[in-house]
Amino acid sequence: MSENFEPGIVAFLCNWCAYAGADLAGVARMQYPPNVRIIRLLCTGRMNHGFILKAFEAGADGVMVSG
C-alpha cells in the first residue's frame, strides 16, 4: 500500500439523521477529504448485505452505514 493511499468510501446514510448530519457539516463548512460518495436511504433499515458486497465489488475500499 502506497503511503499516500486514500480509500474510496461508499456511505449509506439515513435521510433523517446521518444524511442531515452530512448536510449540517456542509452548513458549518467543516472540511473533510473528498473521498466519500453518499447514497441516501429513507432509513438504514433498507440496507442489506448485498449493497455492501456490491460496493466492494464496485471498487470501494470502505463502506460506511450510518443511521
Residues forming the site for other proteins (CB under 8 A)? 4, 6, 8, 10, 15, 19-20, 22-35, 37-43, 45-48, 50-51, 54-55, 58-60
Cβ neighbours of 15 (radius 10 Å): 13
**Spatial CB neighbours of 2, under 8 Å, sequence gap ≥ 6:** none
Cβ at position 62, least distance to other proteins in Å: 11
DSSP letter assigned to residue 61? S
Cβ at position 34, least distance to other proteins in Å: 5
Cβ at position 66, least distance to other proteins in Å: 13
| Phi, psi at 56, each rounded to 5° | -65, -40
